[in-house]
Structure 1
Amino acid sequence: MRFHFDFSRRRMSVVVSDDSGKRQMITKGAVEEMLSICSYVERKGQVINLTDEMKKTV
């Protein structure tokens, strides 16, 4: 499934499945738009909260 680039939202997404059926949505777009909607980040193999302090370093 593909969501084409939306110029008003400045991002696009695709949904992909692996062989086991696990689905993930992958989204890419303008940095400021992505940071405004992101709550979590994977760091060193662990999913953690994406804090405002972390966002400032991007």
Structure 2
Amino acid sequence: MLKWALIFLVISLISGFLGFSGVSAATATIARVLFFLAIALFVIFLVLALMAGNIVF
């Protein structure tokens, strides 16, 4: 998911440099959503792993 966020970020930067502000804004929004979704999933899985580790030991 972070890979897709990075791809959309690069597309946003390139389209912004070329003057396509609408495409740049849209892809930047998609990249931001994917980034925060990946961070949220990471935190959820980290908490689940820590809770499972405490149960095993």
Q: TM-score range by the shorter chain?
A: under 0.3
TM-score, with length taken from structure 2: 0.24
Structure with the bigger percentage of helix: 2
TM-score, with length taken from structure 1: 0.23
Structure with the bigger percentage of strand: 1
For the pair shown, the structure with the greater C-alpha radius of gyration is 2
